[in-house]
C-alpha cells in the first residue's frame, strides 16, 4: 500500500534528525545535557493527578464525552479567562476543547480556509504550523520576526496583496523560539489590521503563564474587539506540566470556534471525561503550583544567562516562555554550531534554522533541566574556547 499524495507532501520534520543524533550519543554512553527539546521536566501537580484518579474511578467518566467536550471543562476555561484576564467567555459558544493545542493549530486551516488561500505565519515559528498548511493545501507566506523589532512582526512591511489575500494570521507570544513577549498595543494593532482586511487571527498562547521580571504575559483577547476577529489557543501542557495528557482549548470568535467544533465532530469524540474533569480542576483550583513553577523557570533563566555572560557570550535574557534564543558566533551556521556543541561538548540545542529562514544565526535552548546542569552546559561550552 502506498501512502497518499497528501501525506507525501507533508513537510519533513527538521528536528527528527536532532532527536536521532541525541539518542545515538546517549546510546553511546555519553552524558548529554539535552537542551534541544520543549518537554516540561516537572511532574503534574499532585492535586490534578488525584482529581484524575478520582474521576477515572467514576463510571460517569466511562461513557462517551459530549462531542464538543463537557460543559464543566468549558465553564472552567471561561472562568479561568475571567479570573486571569478579566475576559467574558461564553462556555457554550466561545470555547472549543482540544486534544492539546497542536491539534487546534493544525485543524484551523482545514476548518476555515479553502485550498490555495493564503495564511501568514511568523518566521521563526513553531514548525507544526506548517503541518496544517500542508494538510489543508493552503499557501503561506512568512512575517519575519527580527531582533530590532523585539521579534514582533512589522505589519508595515506586508504588501497590500498579502494583506488583501490573507485569510488567517498566526501569532505566538510569549514566543517559541525567541522568548519575546507582546503587549496590548501590539495586539490592538493586530485587531485593526484584521478588521481592515478581514483576516482571522489565531494567537497561540502556549506559554501564557510564563513571564519574567514581574511581567505577566497579556492575552490577545485583552485587546478591544479581539473576539470579533480571532481566537486564542491555551494549553495545559506548560502551565500545569500536563504535556502528556493532551488537553487544551480555544477561546474567542464564535464562528471560528464553531468551525473547529464542526470539524472535530467528524474526527473525534472529545477527551476522556476524567481528563476534562482534572483539567477543569487545574484551571479553577489555587494557582500556587503555577507561581512556584514560574519561580523555578526564572531561577534557571537567571543562572543560565548569567553564566553565558560570564564566559563572554553576548546573550539577552528571554522575557517569557521557557526558551533562551542565543546568537551563534559569526563563523558558524546555526546547524554547524549546534552540531559542534553536541559533538564536542555533549550539549544538545536546537539550531535556529529549524524554525525558519529568520531563525538562522541563533540557537534555541530549553530551560528544562536543573539549574546546575544548565550552568554545567555553559561551562562545557566555555572549554571549547569560542567566546
Ligand atoms: C508554540 C507552541 N504552540 C503549541 C504547542 C503545542 O502544545 P500542546 O499541543 O501540548 O498543547 C507547543 C508545544 O511545544 C508550542 O511550543
pLDDT digits (tens, 9 = 90+) for 57-86: 999 999 999 999 999 999 999 999 999 999
Say how many Å lie between the CA of residue 101 and the centre of ligand 1.
6
Half-sphere exposure of 29 (CA within 13 A, CB side): 0
Atom of ligand 1 nearest to the CA of 38: 14
Please state, in angstroms and rounded to a whole number, the distance separating the CA atoms of residues 132 and 370. 34
Q: Residue 323: what pLDDT?
A: 98
Average pLDDT over residues 195-214: 98
Q: Ligand 1 test: best mutation among 13, 77, 235, most atoms within 8 Å of CB?
A: 235
Say how many Å lie between the CA of residue 2 and the centre of ligand 1.
31
Say how many Å lie between the CA of residue 376 and the centre of ligand 1.
27
In angstroms, what CA-CA distances link 70 with 82, 90, 381? 19, 14, 49
Average pLDDT over residues 137-163: 98
Q: Over 90: is that where the pLDDT of 15 sits?
A: no
Give Cα 79 to chain centroid, integer Å. Answer: 22
pLDDT per position as a tens digit, 289-342: 999 999 999 999 999 999 999 999 999 999 999 999 999 999 999 999 999 999
Is the distance from the beta carbon of residue 65 to the nearest atom of ligand 1 less than 6 Å? Answer: no
Say how many Å lie between the CA of residue 249 and the centre of ligand 1.
12
- In the structure, what pLDDT confidence band is assigned to residue 189 with cuts at 50, 70 and 90? very high
Q: Ligand 1 test: best mutation among 209, 237, 239, most atoms within 8 Å of CB?
A: 237
Say how many Å lie between the CA of residue 50 and the centre of ligand 1.
24
Is the distance from the beta carbon of residue 321 to the nearest atom of ligand 1 less than 6 Å? Answer: no
Q: Over 90: is that where the pLDDT of 18 sits?
A: no
Determine the Cα angle at 249 with ends 244 and 254, to 5°.
165
List 170's β-bridge partners, or say none: 202
Cβ count near 345 (within 10 Å): 20
Is the distance from the beta carbon of residue 237 to the nearest atom of ligand 1 less than 6 Å? Answer: yes
**pLDDT averaged over the chain?**
97
pLDDT above 70 covers a percentage of the chain that reads 100
Q: Residue 12: what pLDDT?
A: 83
Handedness of CA 246, 36, 320, 205 (dihedral sign): negative
Say how many Å lie between the CA of residue 143 and the centre of ligand 1.
20
pLDDT per position as a tens digit, 218-249: 999 999 999 999 999 999 999 999 999 999 99
- In the structure, what pLDDT confidence band is assigned to residue 17 with cuts at 50, 70 and 90? confident
Q: Ligand 1 test: best mutation among 126, 174, 231, 279, most atoms within 8 Å of CB?
A: 126
Is the distance from the beta carbon of residue 102 to the nearest atom of ligand 1 less than 6 Å? Answer: yes
Q: Residue 24: what pLDDT?
A: 94
Is the distance from the beta carbon of residue 176 to the nearest atom of ligand 1 less than 6 Å? Answer: yes
Is the distance from the beta carbon of residue 101 to the nearest atom of ligand 1 less than 6 Å? Answer: yes
Which of 5-9, 141-145, 376-380 shows the lowest per-residue confidence on average (mean pLDDT)? 5-9
Cβ count near 216 (within 10 Å): 15
3-state secondary structure the chain: CCCCHHHHCCCCCHHHHHHHHHHHHHHCCCCCEECCCCCCCCCCCHHHHHHHHHHHCCHHHHCCCCCCCCHHHHHHHHHHHHHHHCCCCCCCCCEEEECCHHHHHHHHHHHHCCCCCEEEEEECCCCCHHHHHHHHCCEEEEEECCHHHCCCCCHHHCCHHHHHHEEEEEECCCCCCCCCCCCHHHHHHHHHHHHHHCCEEEEECCCCCCECCCCCCCCHHHCCCHHHHEEEEEEHHHHCCCHHHCCEEEEECHHHHHHHHHHHHHHCCCCCHHHHHHHHHHHHCCCHHHHHHHHHHHHHHHHHHHHHHHCCCCCCCCCECCEEEEECCCCCCHHHHHHHHHHHHCEECEEHHHHCHHHCCEEEEECCCCHHHHHHHHHHHHCCCCC
- In the structure, what pLDDT confidence band is assigned to residue 13 with cuts at 50, 70 and 90? confident
Q: Over 90: is that where the pLDDT of 14 sits?
A: no
Atom of ligand 1 nearest to the CA of 101: 11
Please state, in angstroms and rounded to a whole number, the distance separating the CA atoms of residues 8 and 137. 12
Is the distance from the beta carbon of residue 146 to the nearest atom of ligand 1 less than 6 Å? Answer: no
Please state, in angstroms and rounded to a whole number, the distance separating the CA atoms of residues 305 and 35. 14
**Nearest residue (CA) to ligand 1, atom 12:** 206
**Of residues 172, 157, 115, 160, the one with CA closest to residue 140:** 115
Average pLDDT over residues 143-169: 98
**Nearest residue (CA) to ligand 1, atom 2:** 206
Amino acid at each position: 500500500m502506498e501512502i497518499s499524495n497528501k501525506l507525501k507532501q507533508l513537510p519533513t520534520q527538521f528536528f527528527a534528525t536532532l532527536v536521532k543524533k541525541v539518542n545515538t550519543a546517549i546510546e553511546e554512553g555519553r552524558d548529554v545535557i539535552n537542551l534541544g527539546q520543549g518537554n516540561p521536566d516537572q511532574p503534574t501537580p499532585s492535586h490534578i493527578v488525584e482529581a484524575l484518579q478520582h474521576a477515572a474511578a467514576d463510571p460517569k467518566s466511562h461513557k462517551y464525552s459530549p462531542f464538543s467536550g463537557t460543559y464543566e471543562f468549558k465553564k472552567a476555561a471561561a472562568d479561568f479567562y475571567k479570573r486571569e484576564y478579566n475576559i467574558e467567555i461564553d462556555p457554550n459558544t466561545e470555547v472549543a476543547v482540544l486534544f492539546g493545542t497542536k491539534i487546534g493549530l493544525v485543524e484551523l486551516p482545514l476548518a476555515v480556509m479553502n485550498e490555495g488561500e493564503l495564511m501568514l505565519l511568523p518566521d521563526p515559528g513553531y514548525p507544526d504550523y506548517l503541518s496544517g498548511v500542508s494538510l489543508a493545501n493552503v499557501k503561506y507566506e512568512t512575517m519575519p520576526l527580527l531582533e530590532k523589532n523585539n521579534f514582533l512582526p512589522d505589519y508595515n512591511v506586508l504588501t497590500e496583496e498579502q494583506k488583501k489575500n490573507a485569510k488567517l494570521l498566526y501569532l505566538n507570544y510569549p514566543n517559541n523560539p525567541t522568548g519575546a513577549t507582546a503587549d496590548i498595543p501590539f495586539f490592538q494593532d493586530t485587531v485593526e489590521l484584521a478588521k481592515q482586511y478581514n483576516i482571522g487571527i489565531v494567537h497561540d498562547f502556549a506559554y501564557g503563564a510564563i513571564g519574567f521580571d514581574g511581567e505577566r504575559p497579556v492575552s490577545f483577547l485583552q485587546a478591544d474587539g479581539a473576539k470579533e476577529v480571532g481566537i486564542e489557543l491555551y494549553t495545559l501542557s506548560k502551565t500545569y506540566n500536563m504535556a502528556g495528557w493532551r488537553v487544551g482549548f480555544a477561546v474567542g470568535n464564535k464562528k471560528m470556534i464553531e468551525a473547529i467544533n464542526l470539524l472535530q465532530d467528524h474526527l473525534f469524540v472529545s477527551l476522556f471525561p476524567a481528563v476534562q474533569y482534572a483539567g477543569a480542576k487545574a484551571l479553577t483550583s489555587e494557582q500556587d503550583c503555577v507561581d512556584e513553577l514560574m519561580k523555578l523557570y526564572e531561577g534557571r533563566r537567571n543562572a543560565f544567562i548569567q553564566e553565558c555572560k560570564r564566559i563572554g557570550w553576548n546573550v539577552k535574557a528571554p522575557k517569557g516562555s521557557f526558551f533562551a534564543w542565543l546568537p551563534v558566533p559569526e563563523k558558524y551556521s546555526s546547524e554547524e554550531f549546534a552540531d559542534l556543541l553536541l559533538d564536542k561538548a555533549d550539549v544538545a540545542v536546537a539550531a535556529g534554522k529549524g524554525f525558519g529562514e529568520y531563525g538562522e544565526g541563533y540557537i534555541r535552548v530549553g530551560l528544562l533541566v536543573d539549574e546546575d546542569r544548565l550552568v554545567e552546559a555553559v561551562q562545557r561550552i566555555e572549554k571549547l574556547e569560542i567566546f
